[in-house]
Amino acid sequence: MTRRYFGTDGIRGRANAEPMTAETALRVGMAAGLHFTRGEHRHHVVIGKDTRLSGYMIEPALTAGFISMGMNVILVGPMPTPAVAMLTRSLRADLGVMISASHNLFEDNGIKLFGPDGYKLSDDVEIEIESLMAGGVSGQLSAPKDLGRAVRLEDAHGRYIEFAKNTFPKGMTLGDIKIVIDCAHGAAYKVAPTVLWELGAEVIRVGVEPDGFNINRDCGSTAPEHMCEAVRREGADIGIAVDGDADRVVIADETGALLDGDQLMALIAEHLRKRERLSGGGLVATQMSNLGLERHLQSRGLHLVRTQVGDRYVVEHMRSHGYNLGGEQSGHIILSDHATTGDGLVAALQVLAVVAEAGRPVSDVGRCFEPLPQALRSIGYNGGTVLDLGPVREAIEAGEAALGQSGRLLIRKSGTEPKVRVMAEGDDETLVARVVDDIVAVIARHAG
Protein backbone atom coordinates (compact mmCIF):
# COMPACT_ATOMS: atom_id res chain seq x y z
CA MET A 1 0.00 0.00 0.00
CA THR A 2 1.31 3.46 -0.94
CA ARG A 3 1.49 5.67 2.14
CA ARG A 4 -0.56 8.83 1.81
CA TYR A 5 -0.14 10.43 5.21
CA PHE A 6 2.86 9.06 7.12
CA GLY A 7 6.38 10.12 6.19
CA THR A 8 9.81 9.77 7.80
CA ASP A 9 8.56 11.01 11.16
CA GLY A 10 4.79 10.74 11.45
CA ILE A 11 2.39 13.00 9.55
CA ARG A 12 3.52 16.50 8.69
CA GLY A 13 2.37 19.40 6.54
CA ARG A 14 1.17 22.98 6.36
CA ALA A 15 -1.37 23.73 9.09
CA ASN A 16 -5.02 23.82 8.01
CA ALA A 17 -4.21 22.24 4.65
CA GLU A 18 -4.20 18.53 3.89
CA PRO A 19 -3.00 16.45 5.57
CA MET A 20 -2.82 18.74 8.61
CA THR A 21 -6.50 19.64 8.89
CA ALA A 22 -8.87 19.15 11.79
CA GLU A 23 -10.77 16.61 9.71
CA THR A 24 -7.71 14.47 9.08
CA ALA A 25 -6.64 14.75 12.73
CA LEU A 26 -10.09 13.53 13.74
CA ARG A 27 -9.74 10.51 11.44
CA VAL A 28 -6.23 9.80 12.75
CA GLY A 29 -7.61 9.75 16.29
CA MET A 30 -10.45 7.43 15.33
CA ALA A 31 -8.27 5.05 13.30
CA ALA A 32 -5.40 4.92 15.80
CA GLY A 33 -7.88 4.55 18.64
CA LEU A 34 -9.49 1.57 16.92
CA HIS A 35 -6.15 -0.04 16.12
CA PHE A 36 -4.88 0.24 19.71
CA THR A 37 -8.12 -0.86 21.38
CA ARG A 38 -7.25 -4.32 22.59
CA GLY A 39 -8.97 -6.07 25.46
CA GLU A 40 -11.79 -5.03 27.78
CA HIS A 41 -9.92 -2.49 29.93
CA ARG A 42 -10.51 1.25 29.67
CA HIS A 43 -7.96 2.51 27.15
CA HIS A 44 -5.90 5.70 27.53
CA VAL A 45 -3.96 7.96 25.19
CA VAL A 46 -1.47 10.69 26.16
CA ILE A 47 -1.50 13.81 23.97
CA GLY A 48 1.22 16.46 24.09
CA LYS A 49 2.06 19.35 21.79
CA ASP A 50 4.57 22.09 21.14
CA THR A 51 3.78 25.81 21.09
CA ARG A 52 2.42 26.34 17.54
CA LEU A 53 -0.84 28.23 17.13
CA SER A 54 -2.29 25.34 15.10
CA GLY A 55 -1.90 23.03 18.08
CA TYR A 56 -5.14 24.54 19.39
CA MET A 57 -6.85 23.13 16.29
CA ILE A 58 -5.19 19.71 16.06
CA GLU A 59 -5.38 18.83 19.76
CA PRO A 60 -9.19 18.97 20.17
CA ALA A 61 -9.72 17.21 16.83
CA LEU A 62 -7.51 14.30 17.91
CA THR A 63 -9.18 14.30 21.32
CA ALA A 64 -12.62 14.01 19.75
CA GLY A 65 -11.47 11.14 17.56
CA PHE A 66 -10.09 9.13 20.47
CA ILE A 67 -13.07 9.84 22.72
CA SER A 68 -15.46 8.67 19.99
CA MET A 69 -13.67 5.31 20.02
CA GLY A 70 -14.00 4.97 23.79
CA MET A 71 -10.47 6.08 24.75
CA ASN A 72 -9.75 8.33 27.72
CA VAL A 73 -7.48 11.22 26.76
CA ILE A 74 -4.73 12.54 29.04
CA LEU A 75 -3.69 16.06 27.96
CA VAL A 76 -0.24 17.26 29.03
CA GLY A 77 0.01 20.50 27.04
CA PRO A 78 3.34 21.83 25.71
CA MET A 79 5.90 19.10 26.43
CA PRO A 80 8.96 17.71 24.63
CA THR A 81 8.39 14.75 22.33
CA PRO A 82 10.53 12.45 24.53
CA ALA A 83 8.43 13.48 27.53
CA VAL A 84 5.30 12.22 25.77
CA ALA A 85 7.05 8.93 25.03
CA MET A 86 8.14 8.63 28.66
CA LEU A 87 4.70 9.49 30.03
CA THR A 88 3.03 6.98 27.71
CA ARG A 89 5.04 4.22 29.36
CA SER A 90 4.87 5.65 32.88
CA LEU A 91 1.08 6.03 32.78
CA ARG A 92 0.61 2.57 31.22
CA ALA A 93 -1.23 4.26 28.36
CA ASP A 94 -2.14 2.39 25.19
CA LEU A 95 -0.92 5.13 22.88
CA GLY A 96 0.99 8.43 22.90
CA VAL A 97 0.62 11.37 20.51
CA MET A 98 2.87 14.38 19.99
CA ILE A 99 1.53 17.31 17.96
CA SER A 100 4.60 18.94 16.45
CA ALA A 101 6.43 19.64 13.22
CA SER A 102 9.73 19.41 15.07
CA HIS A 103 12.24 21.92 13.65
CA ASN A 104 9.87 23.41 11.03
CA LEU A 105 8.48 26.93 11.38
CA PHE A 106 5.05 27.65 12.89
CA GLU A 107 3.16 27.37 9.59
CA ASP A 108 3.63 23.59 9.66
CA ASN A 109 2.48 21.01 12.14
CA GLY A 110 2.63 17.26 12.53
CA ILE A 111 1.41 14.20 14.41
CA LYS A 112 3.82 11.64 15.88
CA LEU A 113 2.47 8.41 17.38
CA PHE A 114 4.00 6.19 20.05
CA GLY A 115 2.96 2.69 21.00
CA PRO A 116 2.36 1.58 24.61
CA ASP A 117 6.08 0.76 24.91
CA GLY A 118 6.99 4.39 24.19
CA TYR A 119 8.54 3.65 20.79
CA LYS A 120 7.51 5.24 17.50
CA LEU A 121 5.29 3.08 15.36
CA SER A 122 6.67 0.76 12.69
CA ASP A 123 5.93 1.23 9.00
CA ASP A 124 3.54 -1.72 9.14
CA VAL A 125 1.44 -0.22 11.93
CA GLU A 126 1.32 3.16 10.19
CA ILE A 127 0.09 1.45 7.02
CA GLU A 128 -2.64 -0.32 9.03
CA ILE A 129 -3.77 3.01 10.50
CA GLU A 130 -3.85 4.58 7.03
CA SER A 131 -5.97 1.66 5.84
CA LEU A 132 -8.45 2.28 8.65
CA MET A 133 -8.54 5.98 7.81
CA ALA A 134 -9.34 5.18 4.19
CA GLY A 135 -11.96 2.54 4.95
CA GLY A 136 -13.76 4.44 7.67
CA VAL A 137 -14.52 3.39 11.24
CA SER A 138 -18.04 4.82 11.65
CA GLY A 139 -19.52 1.37 12.10
CA GLN A 140 -17.30 0.79 15.14
CA LEU A 141 -17.91 3.96 17.12
CA SER A 142 -18.46 3.58 20.85
CA ALA A 143 -21.93 3.55 22.35
CA PRO A 144 -22.89 6.72 24.26
CA LYS A 145 -22.21 5.07 27.62
CA ASP A 146 -18.74 3.94 26.47
CA LEU A 147 -17.39 7.30 25.25
CA GLY A 148 -14.06 8.33 26.67
CA ARG A 149 -13.23 11.35 28.85
CA ALA A 150 -10.51 14.00 28.64
CA VAL A 151 -8.44 15.03 31.67
CA ARG A 152 -5.43 17.31 32.05
CA LEU A 153 -2.37 15.92 33.84
CA GLU A 154 -1.41 18.83 36.06
CA ASP A 155 1.98 17.51 37.21
CA ALA A 156 3.27 16.43 33.78
CA HIS A 157 6.13 18.94 33.84
CA GLY A 158 7.29 17.80 37.26
CA ARG A 159 7.28 14.15 36.22
CA TYR A 160 9.51 14.81 33.22
CA ILE A 161 11.82 17.12 35.17
CA GLU A 162 12.48 14.37 37.72
CA PHE A 163 12.94 11.80 34.95
CA ALA A 164 15.53 13.96 33.19
CA LYS A 165 17.41 14.75 36.41
CA ASN A 166 17.63 11.04 37.23
CA THR A 167 19.64 10.44 34.04
CA PHE A 168 22.41 12.65 35.48
CA PRO A 169 24.99 10.90 37.69
CA LYS A 170 23.98 10.65 41.34
CA GLY A 171 26.02 12.87 43.65
CA MET A 172 27.17 15.15 40.80
CA THR A 173 25.98 18.74 40.34
CA LEU A 174 26.37 21.45 37.73
CA GLY A 175 27.60 23.96 40.27
CA ASP A 176 30.06 26.54 38.87
CA ILE A 177 28.91 25.82 35.28
CA LYS A 178 27.29 28.68 33.39
CA ILE A 179 24.92 27.45 30.68
CA VAL A 180 23.05 29.18 27.89
CA ILE A 181 19.95 27.15 27.00
CA ASP A 182 18.00 27.97 23.82
CA CYS A 183 14.57 26.31 23.80
CA ALA A 184 13.52 27.55 20.33
CA HIS A 185 10.36 29.08 21.85
CA GLY A 186 9.16 25.49 21.78
CA ALA A 187 8.00 22.60 23.89
CA ALA A 188 10.93 22.62 26.35
CA TYR A 189 10.73 26.30 27.26
CA LYS A 190 9.75 25.52 30.86
CA VAL A 191 11.24 22.12 31.64
CA ALA A 192 14.76 22.39 30.18
CA PRO A 193 15.90 25.51 32.08
CA THR A 194 14.32 24.14 35.26
CA VAL A 195 16.24 20.86 35.06
CA LEU A 196 19.56 22.66 34.58
CA TRP A 197 18.82 25.11 37.42
CA GLU A 198 17.77 22.36 39.82
CA LEU A 199 21.04 20.55 39.09
CA GLY A 200 22.92 23.65 40.25
CA ALA A 201 23.87 25.46 37.04
CA GLU A 202 23.76 29.18 36.42
CA VAL A 203 21.24 29.34 33.59
CA ILE A 204 20.92 31.95 30.84
CA ARG A 205 17.54 31.38 29.13
CA VAL A 206 17.04 32.02 25.42
CA GLY A 207 14.01 31.19 23.25
CA VAL A 208 11.62 30.82 26.19
CA GLU A 209 8.87 33.27 25.17
CA PRO A 210 6.59 31.36 22.76
CA ASP A 211 3.74 33.31 21.16
CA GLY A 212 2.40 30.67 18.77
CA PHE A 213 4.32 32.09 15.83
CA ASN A 214 8.02 32.25 16.80
CA ILE A 215 8.87 28.57 17.29
CA ASN A 216 12.22 27.75 15.62
CA ARG A 217 12.39 31.24 14.11
CA ASP A 218 16.05 32.33 14.13
CA CYS A 219 16.66 30.18 17.20
CA GLY A 220 17.01 26.61 18.39
CA SER A 221 19.14 23.78 17.06
CA THR A 222 18.54 24.63 13.39
CA ALA A 223 19.53 28.30 13.86
CA PRO A 224 22.01 28.23 16.75
CA GLU A 225 23.86 31.45 15.92
CA HIS A 226 21.88 33.41 18.52
CA MET A 227 22.77 30.83 21.18
CA CYS A 228 26.44 30.92 20.19
CA GLU A 229 26.51 34.71 20.42
CA ALA A 230 24.87 34.53 23.87
CA VAL A 231 27.61 32.12 25.01
CA ARG A 232 30.30 34.59 23.97
CA ARG A 233 28.45 37.63 25.32
CA GLU A 234 27.66 36.07 28.71
CA GLY A 235 31.01 34.30 29.11
CA ALA A 236 29.21 30.98 29.49
CA ASP A 237 30.94 27.62 29.76
CA ILE A 238 28.59 25.89 27.33
CA GLY A 239 25.58 26.54 25.13
CA ILE A 240 22.71 24.13 24.47
CA ALA A 241 20.12 24.54 21.71
CA VAL A 242 17.18 22.18 21.22
CA ASP A 243 14.56 22.29 18.47
CA GLY A 244 10.84 22.99 18.72
CA ASP A 245 9.91 19.62 20.21
CA ALA A 246 13.26 19.13 21.98
CA ASP A 247 14.13 15.75 20.51
CA ARG A 248 17.37 17.06 19.00
CA VAL A 249 20.25 19.14 20.33
CA VAL A 250 23.42 20.93 19.28
CA ILE A 251 26.00 22.28 21.69
CA ALA A 252 28.45 25.19 21.62
CA ASP A 253 31.73 25.27 23.52
CA GLU A 254 32.86 28.28 25.53
CA THR A 255 34.12 30.02 22.37
CA GLY A 256 30.75 29.64 20.62
CA ALA A 257 32.01 26.91 18.26
CA LEU A 258 29.38 24.28 17.50
CA LEU A 259 29.43 20.55 18.18
CA ASP A 260 26.92 18.64 16.04
CA GLY A 261 25.31 15.28 16.71
CA ASP A 262 28.27 13.34 15.31
CA GLN A 263 30.71 14.97 17.74
CA LEU A 264 28.31 14.46 20.64
CA MET A 265 27.82 10.77 19.82
CA ALA A 266 31.60 10.28 19.63
CA LEU A 267 32.04 11.93 23.04
CA ILE A 268 29.27 9.91 24.68
CA ALA A 269 30.46 6.66 23.07
CA GLU A 270 33.96 7.11 24.45
CA HIS A 271 32.56 7.97 27.88
CA LEU A 272 30.39 4.84 27.93
CA ARG A 273 33.18 2.62 26.59
CA LYS A 274 35.57 3.65 29.36
CA ARG A 275 32.95 2.61 31.89
CA GLU A 276 32.18 -0.65 30.06
CA ARG A 277 28.61 0.52 29.49
CA LEU A 278 28.62 0.77 25.69
CA SER A 279 26.54 -2.04 24.21
CA GLY A 280 27.00 -3.49 20.73
CA GLY A 281 30.64 -2.52 20.27
CA GLY A 282 29.81 0.80 18.60
CA LEU A 283 26.88 3.00 17.73
CA VAL A 284 24.11 3.33 15.15
CA ALA A 285 23.80 6.42 12.95
CA THR A 286 22.31 7.29 9.57
CA GLN A 287 23.71 7.72 6.10
CA MET A 288 24.15 11.44 6.86
CA SER A 289 26.79 11.03 9.58
CA ASN A 290 30.24 12.24 8.69
CA LEU A 291 32.86 9.78 7.45
CA GLY A 292 35.19 11.32 10.03
CA LEU A 293 33.02 9.84 12.78
CA GLU A 294 33.32 6.40 11.23
CA ARG A 295 37.10 6.66 10.96
CA HIS A 296 37.35 7.95 14.54
CA LEU A 297 35.36 5.06 15.93
CA GLN A 298 37.43 2.56 13.98
CA SER A 299 40.58 4.03 15.52
CA ARG A 300 39.07 3.28 18.94
CA GLY A 301 38.16 -0.29 18.06
CA LEU A 302 34.47 0.59 17.66
CA HIS A 303 32.22 0.46 14.64
CA LEU A 304 29.50 2.57 13.06
CA VAL A 305 26.33 1.02 11.64
CA ARG A 306 24.35 3.19 9.21
CA THR A 307 20.60 3.16 8.63
CA GLN A 308 18.33 5.17 6.37
CA VAL A 309 17.57 8.72 7.50
CA GLY A 310 15.09 8.98 10.38
CA ASP A 311 15.70 8.47 14.07
CA ARG A 312 13.07 5.72 14.31
CA TYR A 313 15.11 3.60 11.89
CA VAL A 314 18.12 4.13 14.12
CA VAL A 315 16.06 3.03 17.13
CA GLU A 316 14.74 -0.04 15.32
CA HIS A 317 18.29 -1.20 14.54
CA MET A 318 19.44 -0.47 18.08
CA ARG A 319 16.63 -2.55 19.53
CA SER A 320 17.09 -5.49 17.21
CA HIS A 321 20.90 -5.63 17.49
CA GLY A 322 21.58 -4.68 21.11
CA TYR A 323 23.00 -1.15 20.87
CA ASN A 324 22.38 1.49 23.53
CA LEU A 325 23.67 4.56 21.66
CA GLY A 326 22.65 5.95 18.30
CA GLY A 327 21.47 9.07 16.56
CA GLU A 328 21.75 11.52 13.74
CA GLN A 329 24.17 14.26 12.77
CA SER A 330 21.30 16.74 13.19
CA GLY A 331 21.29 16.10 16.93
CA HIS A 332 18.74 13.32 17.45
CA ILE A 333 20.63 11.24 20.01
CA ILE A 334 19.07 8.10 21.46
CA LEU A 335 20.35 6.72 24.75
CA SER A 336 18.25 3.60 25.16
CA ASP A 337 19.37 3.09 28.76
CA HIS A 338 17.25 6.17 29.50
CA ALA A 339 14.78 6.86 26.69
CA THR A 340 12.93 5.31 23.76
CA THR A 341 13.45 8.20 21.36
CA GLY A 342 15.75 11.14 20.78
CA ASP A 343 15.91 13.45 23.81
CA GLY A 344 17.85 16.68 23.42
CA LEU A 345 17.91 17.50 27.12
CA VAL A 346 18.97 14.02 28.26
CA ALA A 347 21.74 13.95 25.63
CA ALA A 348 22.95 17.37 26.80
CA LEU A 349 23.02 16.12 30.38
CA GLN A 350 25.32 13.24 29.39
CA VAL A 351 27.70 15.73 27.77
CA LEU A 352 27.53 17.95 30.85
CA ALA A 353 28.38 14.94 33.03
CA VAL A 354 31.55 14.37 31.01
CA VAL A 355 32.48 18.05 31.25
CA ALA A 356 31.80 18.24 34.99
CA GLU A 357 33.79 15.09 35.66
CA ALA A 358 36.74 16.16 33.53
CA GLY A 359 36.86 19.68 34.96
CA ARG A 360 38.12 20.93 31.59
CA PRO A 361 36.61 23.32 29.01
CA VAL A 362 34.08 21.97 26.54
CA SER A 363 36.45 22.87 23.68
CA ASP A 364 39.02 20.53 25.22
CA VAL A 365 36.80 17.49 25.70
CA GLY A 366 34.05 17.91 23.14
CA ARG A 367 35.80 17.93 19.77
CA CYS A 368 36.67 14.27 19.34
CA PHE A 369 37.57 14.16 15.63
CA GLU A 370 38.13 16.35 12.61
CA PRO A 371 35.13 15.98 10.29
CA LEU A 372 35.69 15.47 6.60
CA PRO A 373 34.56 18.31 4.35
CA GLN A 374 30.85 17.84 3.75
CA ALA A 375 28.43 19.75 1.56
CA LEU A 376 24.66 19.48 1.81
CA ARG A 377 22.08 21.29 -0.30
CA SER A 378 18.33 20.94 -0.61
CA ILE A 379 16.26 21.74 -3.67
CA GLY A 380 12.49 21.80 -4.04
CA TYR A 381 10.74 19.65 -6.61
CA ASN A 382 7.16 19.05 -7.71
CA GLY A 383 7.02 15.34 -6.94
CA GLY A 384 7.42 12.55 -9.45
CA THR A 385 10.55 10.61 -10.32
CA VAL A 386 13.08 13.35 -10.92
CA LEU A 387 15.92 11.17 -9.55
CA ASP A 388 15.21 8.53 -12.20
CA LEU A 389 15.60 10.88 -15.16
CA GLY A 390 18.54 10.12 -17.46
CA PRO A 391 20.44 13.42 -17.08
CA VAL A 392 20.07 13.31 -13.30
CA ARG A 393 21.30 9.71 -13.12
CA GLU A 394 24.27 10.63 -15.31
CA ALA A 395 25.16 13.57 -13.05
CA ILE A 396 24.97 11.33 -9.97
CA GLU A 397 27.17 8.67 -11.56
CA ALA A 398 29.70 11.33 -12.56
CA GLY A 399 29.77 12.63 -8.99
CA GLU A 400 30.32 9.15 -7.57
CA ALA A 401 33.17 8.56 -10.00
CA ALA A 402 34.80 11.89 -9.11
CA LEU A 403 34.71 11.17 -5.37
CA GLY A 404 35.97 7.61 -5.80
CA GLN A 405 36.88 5.59 -2.73
CA SER A 406 37.82 8.63 -0.65
CA GLY A 407 34.33 10.07 -0.35
CA ARG A 408 30.58 9.46 -0.25
CA LEU A 409 27.59 10.76 -2.16
CA LEU A 410 24.01 10.57 -0.87
CA ILE A 411 20.94 11.80 -2.73
CA ARG A 412 17.49 11.28 -1.24
CA LYS A 413 14.02 12.72 -1.17
CA SER A 414 13.09 14.34 2.13
CA GLY A 415 10.49 12.49 4.16
CA THR A 416 9.13 15.73 5.66
CA GLU A 417 9.31 18.32 2.86
CA PRO A 418 8.97 18.35 -0.97
CA LYS A 419 12.73 18.60 -1.40
CA VAL A 420 15.66 16.55 -2.63
CA ARG A 421 18.73 16.46 -0.36
CA VAL A 422 22.13 16.24 -2.03
CA MET A 423 25.06 15.46 0.26
CA ALA A 424 28.70 14.71 -0.55
CA GLU A 425 31.81 14.38 1.57
CA GLY A 426 35.44 13.54 1.03
CA ASP A 427 38.99 14.60 1.70
CA ASP A 428 38.99 17.29 -1.02
CA GLU A 429 36.72 20.18 0.03
CA THR A 430 36.74 21.85 -3.38
CA LEU A 431 35.80 18.63 -5.14
CA VAL A 432 33.00 17.92 -2.66
CA ALA A 433 31.45 21.35 -3.23
CA ARG A 434 31.71 21.05 -7.00
CA VAL A 435 30.06 17.61 -7.06
CA VAL A 436 27.09 18.87 -5.04
CA ASP A 437 26.72 22.03 -7.12
CA ASP A 438 26.80 20.08 -10.38
CA ILE A 439 24.12 17.60 -9.29
CA VAL A 440 21.87 20.31 -7.83
CA ALA A 441 22.12 22.28 -11.08
CA VAL A 442 20.97 19.27 -13.11
CA ILE A 443 18.11 18.50 -10.73
CA ALA A 444 17.04 22.14 -10.84
CA ARG A 445 16.71 22.01 -14.60
CA HIS A 446 14.42 18.97 -14.44
CA ALA A 447 12.60 19.33 -11.11
CA GLY A 448 9.68 21.41 -12.34
Q: In the chain, where does the domain assigned CATH 3.30.310.50 lie?
A: 374-446
pLDDT one-digit tens code per residue, 407-425: 889 898 876 678 889 999 9
Residue 111 banded pLDDT, cuts 50, 70, 90:
very high
279 CB-near residues (< 8 Å, 6+ apart): 322, 323, 324, 325
Residue 448 banded pLDDT, cuts 50, 70, 90:
low
Pick the CATH number of 175-257 from 3.40.120.10, 3.30.420.40, 3.40.718.10, 3.40.50.720: 3.40.120.10
Q: Reply yes or no on whether 414 is catalytic.
A: no
Exactly one of 102, 221, 330, 336 is catalytic; name it. 102
pTM attached to this predicted model: 0.90
pLDDT one-digit tens code per residue, 51-91: 999 999 999 999 999 999 999 999 999 999 999 999 999 99
Q: Would the pLDDT of 267 be above 90?
A: yes
Domain 260-343: give its CATH code. 3.40.120.10
Q: What is the structure's pLDDT at 263?
A: 96
Q: What is the structure's pLDDT at 416?
A: 67
pLDDT one-digit tens code per residue, 300-318: 999 999 999 888 899 999 9
Q: In the chain, where does the domain assigned CATH 3.40.120.10 lie?
A: 6-155, 175-257, 260-343
Architecture of domain 374-446: 2-Layer Sandwich (3.30)
Query: What is the Cα–Cα distance from 65 to 67, expressed in whole angstroms?
Result: 6
Is residue 283 within 8 Å of residue 306, measured between CB atoms?
A: no
DSSP line for 50-80: -S-TTHHHHHHHHHHHHHHTT-EEEEEEE--
Cα→Cα distances 364→19, 45, 230, 404, Å: 47, 45, 20, 34
Residue 447 banded pLDDT, cuts 50, 70, 90:
confident
Query: What is the Cα–Cα distance from 237 to 248, expressed in whole angstroms?
Result: 20
Pick the CATH number of 6-155 from 3.40.50.300, 3.40.120.10, 3.30.2290.10, 3.50.50.60: 3.40.120.10
pLDDT one-digit tens code per residue, 81-103: 999 999 999 999 999 999 999 99
DSSP line for 248-301: -EEEE-TTS-EE-HHHHHHHHHHHHHHTT---TTEEEEETTS-HHHHHHHHHTT
Q: What is the structure's pLDDT at 307?
A: 95
